[in-house]
Structures are given as structure tokens and as C-alpha cells.
């Protein structure tokens, strides 16, 4: 199956457009050519942005059109919004009556986001009609990822536990995504527990290129990757909700079983975000997500870990648990698959020998350490009563027994 050997859970990808650092105070000073009126222009542009934001929240197309660039209103109007605002961080006067504004957009999706999503935007402006400013173009800032409405008109479908936002997708296709997500949420809750939002947001662009644009990365980095989850490590109360971003090309070649495993895997990353940080090795975060994805499927180790099974059969049992570098994209697909499968089998071993509850406790204990050094060692001692060295021996024996 084309998508089977791909990295389904690349949640550690940071999306600059969604997680901008605070803008330095110095950048709030308007920049220009030194001619009089720059400060006045900044105040006028701020009022323009306030009117534009109010029109978005009110769903007032004519009012939005009076601020310029009206087509964008149509593209984003299906987005269910609780908040939308702009902050002008710099204004650069150009020749004639033009200007470029650096803007921080903040918005919250109603019923989903706990805190504002933030996106850097660059607006091209023109002054006309006796001193009125108008938006000619509203684009992602340099090095920032695109927003979904930058790719086209957004459609929205709400499920019982999900919100699916798509571009270039039919309502029927989005409803299918919502159905998969609605089944994933209870499955994850049963495994992880109820201490999470129990809702997911799924973004479905039209193409791989659209997915890469949302992530601010080249398409080659995600070719064959079925989906990724973006969000802030640690998942604090001040962090906005995660987004599951689907690559419709790789996801589309999966069968129904594979599609469900992928969305359950990604939903697990959403649920575990608050317990996941720099202390958590990728073999644990990705292995646990795969363990939840496969948990109730009845798949055998050989069926779910074919690449590692081939290696073990050929006498190539790994010497150690997968390192973070083994989960990198763009390398050998078989080795990448083996890393995911090795992490999954490590979590499966813990669940089988110590119990599913202990597996969850182990995951949380690793994250509670806060830093990588000593995290796994401490959690293994406290929760499992073993050491990494002893566990590695058990894991290698387990691979031999399950896959040999």
C-alpha cells in the first residue's frame, strides 16, 4: 500500500504562520521615506485594518469590499470565527501613493481555539480618494506559511467531534474526513483518557503543494506523507488548538483502514500535546500514536510492521531504539518506516507486559521531566521498574519473537 511506509505523525513540524514570536517593539515604528505624514498614515492604516476586521466578524461583504481586495472575503467567509484582528507592526511608504504594511493577524475559530492563532501578513496598500487607504493585496509575510484561504475558497463541515476545513474539496469528501475524525476522537479518548479537548481541526488543501504552502516548506519535504499535525509543544492553555493537515494525494491512495489509522494517529498527537515536550523522544511520541491507531484493529505485528519484519527475518535486528534522526523525512523510506514500526512495537511491548494504563503513565512521566536528559531513564525506573538497557534487551527479544 503506497502510504503504508510513510511518516504519518510529523507533528513536530513548526508552522511559522501559526506560532509567530512576539514582534519586537522597535518594529512598531513606521518606516518610510522621511516625508511628512507617515505617522498620520500609520493611524489611518490602523483604522482601515480595524474596519476590515469588523467586516470579517460581521460577515459584511460590502463593508469588507470598501476596504479593498474584496475577493478574499469570499474565500474565508465559511470560516467559523470567534475573533479576527490585525496589528500593524510596520508601514513602509513606497513611490507615489503606495505603501507596504507588515501586519500580525490574530484569529480564533469558534468553539475550537483556546487562544488566537497568529499569522504574519504583508499588505500592499494604495492611498487615493482624498487620503483614503485601500488594501490591494493581502499575502503571507516572507518566510511565513500560507493560510487555508490563501489557497482558495474555504468550505467547512462540522462533525460531532471535528471541524474539517477544505479547499478544492467537495462537501461529500469533507464529510468523509469528518466521519473518520469523529471515530478517531473516542478511540483516542479510550486509550489516553478524557483530559484533552476531544475535538480536532482537519485542514484539507487541494494538493500536496497546498499542504506544503500551509507548512511554509517545499513540497518535496512532504511527498508521500499522508498527514501531519502542527501545534505548540506542551499545549499550554494559552496555545491555540492543533491542526491536522492532510496531504490529499498520499492520503487518497490509502484504503479505508489506512485512512482511519492515519487520522487516529494524528488525533493522538492532539490529545497528547500537553504531555509532550522536548523530553519526549520521537520513538515514544510516534510509537504511542501508532499504538493507539492500531490498538483495536486486530493487526498482527508482521502486518503492521512489514519493513521491520523483513529486516528481522534477514537477521537485521536493530541494536537500539530508533533515535530522533531516524524519523527525518527525505531519506530512505524503508528506514523511516522501520523507525516508526520500532517505536510502535516498543509501546506495544510496554502495553503487553506492564499494561495499557502503565504505558500512558510512562508517557506522561517522560514529559513531566521537562528535559531530555534523564527523562526516559527516570520514567522507566519509576513507572516500569526497569532501565533503558534492560528494556532494549526486552525490545530486541520482542522483535525477534513477533517478527522473526
Distances (CA, A) of 289 to 276, 306, 324, 346: 12, 18, 15, 12
Cβ neighbours of residue 157 under 8 Å, at least 6 residues apart?
Answer: 163, 164, 166, 171, 174, 175, 177, 178
Question: Per-residue confidence at 142, pLDDT binned at 50, 70, 90?
Answer: very high
Domain range 25-143, CATH class: alpha beta
pLDDT value, residue 7: 36
Residues 316, 322, 324: CA angle, nearest 5 degrees: 145
Backbone angles phi, psi at 341, to 5 degrees: -65, -35
Q: Where in the chain is the domain with CATH 3.10.450.50?
A: 25-143
Percent of the chain topping pLDDT 90: 80
Say what the pTM is. 0.88
Select the more confidently predicted residue: 382 or 237.
Answer: 382
Predicted pLDDT at 236: 66
Mean pLDDT value across residues 166-170 = 97
Q: What is the CA radius of gyration of the chain?
A: 24
Asked whether 234 and 277 are in contact (CB, 8 A), the reply is yes
111-125, 292-306, 317-331: the lowest-pLDDT one: 317-331
pLDDT of residue 4: 29
- Beta-carbon contacts of 310 under 8 Å, excluding residues fewer than 6 positions away, are none
Which CATH fold topology does 1-17+145-273 show?
Answer: Zincin-like (3.30.2010)
Lowest-pLDDT choice from 3-7, 88-92, 100-104, 185-189: 3-7
Q: What mean pLDDT do residues 50-72 have?
A: 96
Mean pLDDT of 54-66: 97
Q: What average pLDDT does the segment 259-283 reach?
A: 97
pLDDT bracket for residue 231 (50, 70, 90):
confident
Report, as an integer, the average pLDDT of 30-44.
60
pLDDT value of position 38:
55
Residues of the chain with CATH 3.30.2010.30: 1-17+145-273
For 333-346, the pLDDT digits (tens) are 889 999 999 999 99
Residue 27 has pLDDT above 50, yes or no: no
Instruction: With a cut of 70, say whether residue 34 has pLDDT above it.
Output: no
In angstroms, the CA 33 to CA 92 distance is: 8
Instruction: Read off the pLDDT band of 32 (50, 70, 90).
Output: very low
Please give the mean pLDDT across all residues of the chain: 89
Confidence band for 330, pLDDT divided at 50, 70 and 90:
low
User: What is the Cα–Cα distance from 387 to 361, expressed in whole angstroms?
Assistant: 16
Amino acid at each position: 500500500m503506497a502510504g503504508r511506509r510513510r511518516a504519518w505523525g510529523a507533528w513536530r513540524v513548526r508552522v511559522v504562520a501559526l506560532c509567530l514570536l512576539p514582534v519586537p517593539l522597535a518594529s512598531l515604528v513606521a518606516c518610510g521615506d522621511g516625508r511628512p505624514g507617515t505617522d498620520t498614515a500609520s493611524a489611518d492604516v490602523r483604522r482601515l485594518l480595524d474596519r476590515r476586521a469588523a467586516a470579517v466578524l460581521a460577515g459584511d461583504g460590502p463593508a469588507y469590499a470598501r476596504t479593498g481586495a474584496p475577493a478574499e472575503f469570499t474565500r474565508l467567509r465559511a470560516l467559523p470565527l470567534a475573533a479576527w484582528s490585525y496589528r500593524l507592526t510596520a508601514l513602509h511608504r513606497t513611490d507615489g501613493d503606495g505603501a507596504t504594511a507588515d501586519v500580525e493577524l490574530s484569529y480564533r475559530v469558534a468553539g475550537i481555539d483556546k487562544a488566537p492563532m497568529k499569522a504574519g501578513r504583508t499588505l500592499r496598500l494604495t492611498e487615493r480618494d482624498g487620503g483614503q487607504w485601500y488594501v490591494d493585496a493581502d499575502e503571507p509575510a516572507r518566510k511565513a506559511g500560507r493560510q487555508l484561504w490563501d489557497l482558495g475558497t474555504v468550505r467547512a463541515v462540522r462533525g460531532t467531534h471535528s471541524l474539517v476545513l477544505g479547499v478544492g474539496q467537495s462537501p461529500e469528501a469533507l464529510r468523509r474526513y469528518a466521519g473518520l475524525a469523529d471515530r478517531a476522537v473516542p478511540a483516542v479518548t479510550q486509550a489516553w483518557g478524557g483530559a484533552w479537548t476531544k475535538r480536532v481541526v482537519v485542514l484539507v488543501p487541494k494538493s500536496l503543494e497546498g499542504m506544503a504552502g500551509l507548512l511554509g516548506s517545499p513540497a518535496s519535504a512532504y511527498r508521500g506523507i499522508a498527514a501531519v499535525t502542527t501545534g505548540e509543544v506542551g499545549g499550554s492553555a494559552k496555545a491555540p488548538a492543533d491542526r491536522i493537515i492532510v496531504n490529499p494525494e498520499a492520503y487518497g491512495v490509502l484504503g479505508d483502514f489506512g485512512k482511519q489509522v492515519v487520522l487516529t494517529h494524528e488525533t493522538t498527537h492532539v490529545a497528547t500535546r500537553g504531555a509532550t515536550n522536548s523530553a519526549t523522544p520521537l520513538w515514544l511520541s510516534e510509537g504511542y500514536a501508532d499504538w493507539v491507531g492500531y490498538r483495536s484493529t486486530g493487526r498482527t505485528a508482521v502486518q503492521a510492521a512489514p519493513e521491520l519484519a523483513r529486516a528481522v527475518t534477514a537477521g537485521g535486528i536493530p541494536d537500539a531504539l530508533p533515535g530522533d534522526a531516524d524519523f527525518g523525512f527525505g531519506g530512505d523510506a524503508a528506514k523511516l518506516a522501520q523507525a516508526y514500526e520500532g517505536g510502535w512495537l516498543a509501546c506495544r511491548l510496554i502495553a503487553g507486559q506492564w499494561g495499557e494504563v502503565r504505558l500512558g503513565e510512562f508517557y506522561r512521566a517522560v514529559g513531566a521531566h521537562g528535559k531530555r536528559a534523564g527523562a526516559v531513564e527516570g520514567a522507566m525506573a519509576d513507572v516500569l521498574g526497569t532501565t533503558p538497557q534492560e528494556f532494549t534487551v526486552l525490545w530486541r527479544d520482542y522483535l525477534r519473537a513477533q517478527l522473526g
